[in-house]
Amino acid sequence: MSKWRLTYFDAPVSRGEECRLALALAGVDFEDVRIQRAAWPELKPATPFGTVPFLEIDGRPTIGQTNAILTLVGRLHGLHPSDPFEAARHEAVMTFVDELRAAVTPSIRMTDPDEKRRAREVLVQDTFPTWGETVERHIGDRGYFAGDAPHVVDVKLYVVVRWFASGNVDHIPADVFGAFPRLMRVHDAVDAHPRVRAWQARK
Ligand SMILES: N[C@@H](CCC(=O)N[C@@H](CS)C(=O)NCC(=O)O)C(=O)O
């Protein structure tokens, strides 16, 4: 059987990197298909939702939508709860991560620097604190989101926190989540995981 194929843009970020890291954490030896932006318009109509990432597994329908990919990988590899209620709790937080992305996306598209700065100031003053306080309430008091082992929800939280804590996003300070120790603890735990480290160190 051929390897699973995960397709995303050629960048270690966002929804694609969530899926790559989940697969790496699961120990799946997958084909990491990276497409160039110039090739995207031709490929887009052939994808399940007109978006990346998508996952191809021989003999199965192509899976689109990041959280569907993450929960599938999680269920097959012990990185998502088997209890449906606990799973739903994780999925709710995964959706909440996407809500933060959706709140930031308009400012990414703004071309007027002043408009962008003003939009980002509102995010820093209102959106991020409210989001952080909310998500903090859902995270347990051990290493990861729920206990001492990682789940796909941890990967999702890690990638979004890393994005903003990088200090590389204009007008968003690197300590934007500094007031949320549980969230930062999850970030640090995923970042230090040997399989995550190995994935990030590969050539
Ligand atoms: N709800 C989808 C959103 C996917 C999405 O918007 N992907 C972006 C890249 S992060 C994309 O495909 N952009 C190109 C396009 O929409 O044409 C998911 O969670 O997978």
For ligand 1, whether the C-beta of 51 sits within 6 Å is yes
pLDDT of residue 87: 98
Phi-psi label, residue 147: left if phi above 0, alpha if psi -120 to 50, beta otherwise: left
What φ, ψ does residue 178 adopt, rounded to 5°?
-60, -25
DSSP-H helix ranges across 27-138: 40-43, 66-76, 84-109, 113-122, 128-138
Report CA-CA distances (Å) from 33 to 19, 81, 158: 12, 28, 22
As given in the structure block, the two tokens for residue 163 are: 């994005």
Cα(172) to centroid(ligand 1), Å = 23
Q: Starting at the edge strand that comes first in sequence, how are the strands of the sheet with 31-35 ordered?
A: 31-35, 5-9, 54-56, 63-64
DSSP lists the bridge partners of residue 160 as: none
Domain with CATH 1.20.1050.10 in the chain: 84-193
Sequence ranges of the chain with CATH classification 3.40.30.10:
5-79
The residue whose CA is least distant from atom 12 of ligand 1 is: 51
Please give the pLDDT value at position 44: 98
52 lines ligand 1 (CB under 6 A): yes
Phi, psi of 144 (to 5 degrees): -105, -170
Domain 5-79 has CATH 3.40.50.1000: no
pLDDT in tens, the chain (203 residues): 699 999 999 999 999 999 999 999 999 999 999 999 999 999 999 999 999 999 999 999 999 999 999 999 999 999 999 999 999 999 999 999 999 999 999 999 999 999 999 999 999 999 999 999 999 999 999 999 999 999 999 999 999 999 999 999 999 999 999 999 999 999 999 999 999 999 999 97
Asked if 56 and 7 count as a contact pair (C-beta separation under 8 A), the reply is yes
- 3-state SS, residue 55: strand
77: enclosing H helix or E strand:
none
Q: What is the pLDDT of residue 157?
A: 98
pTM check: above 0.85? yes
Name the residue at shortest CA distance from atom 11 of ligand 1.
51
pLDDT at position 180, please? 98
Report the pLDDT value the prediction gives residue 53, as an integer from 0 to 100: 98
pLDDT at 96: 98
- pLDDT of the residue at 107: 97
Q: DSSP alpha helices (H): ranges in 27-65? A: 40-43
Name the CATH code of domain 84-193 (choices 3.40.190.10, 1.20.1050.10, 1.10.1740.10, 3.40.50.2300). 1.20.1050.10
Q: Which of 50, 77, 48, 87 is nearest to 64 (CA)?
A: 48
Q: Which letter does DSSP use for residue 44 in this model?
A: G
Q: Is 44 close to ligand 1, i.e. is its CB under 6 Å away? A: yes
| Tokens coding 182 | 């549980």
